Amino acid sequence: MSERSAESMEKSEIIQRCIYVKALPLRELTELALIKDEVKSGNIVILRITPLAEKSVEDVKNAINELCTYVAVVGGDIARLGEERIVITPSSVKIWRREENAVKPSVEDTVKPSIENVVKPSIPVSGMEFYCVKCRGKVNVDKYDIVVYETKHGARNMAQAKCPKCGTKLNRVIGKA
């Protein structure tokens, strides 16, 4: 009898210790509670934010802010994965960042990369010049976001905005992340 209960205890411990990587979509702000629960129970969440972004960019910003605050409280980590996803980790898992493991520092690498930029939903800075492919010319945009974009050659800081004339999405790489 006692052996059996020990076995079942062991089993539940194994279940508790198992860390899942869960890819989930974010459709509603109300789903944030579920995501927090996942992180709280020790799982890594890869969150696709585009479903919510299609409805409200403002909601996405609020969601990211909320998740940033949450991971700061629980000691987890959060970072952007390209344009569509963010990754949120529990306290036992840290997200690797270039500056912590720079093997061969170049001139660009010596410029201290900013972790804050990894998830920065919106930085209202006035006057960034973009090239609009549709307007075929330079446009000046008042408000743009800075995101970290993973490329084959490493992470890049990228400014993103919408063309004020035609609404086309504008991208501009502004250096290594």
Position 94 contacts Zn ion (CB under 5 A): no
Which stretch, 30-38, 70-78, 85-93, 165-173, contacts Zn ion (CB under 5 A)?
A: 165-173
Position 166 contacts Zn ion (CB under 5 A): yes
Per CB under 5 A, the list member of 165, 169, 173, 174 interacting with Zn ion is 165
Position 169 contacts Zn ion (CB under 5 A): no
Nearer residue to Zn ion within complex by CB, 24 or 135: 135
Q: In this structure, which amino acid lies at residue 63?
A: A
- Residues of this chain, 132-161, that bind Zn ion according to CB under 5 A: 132, 134-135
CA dihedral 99, 105, 109, 114 (to 10 degrees): 10
The DSSP element (H or E) to which 37 belongs, if any, is helix 32-40
- Name the residue among 119, 122, 117 with its Cα closest to residue 58: 122
How many of the chain's residues bind Zn ion (CB under 5 A)? Answer: 7
What lies within 8 Å, CB to CB, of 64 at 6+ separation is: 49, 78, 86, 119, 121
Tell me which residues touch Zn ion (CB under 5 A): 132, 134-135, 163, 165-166, 168
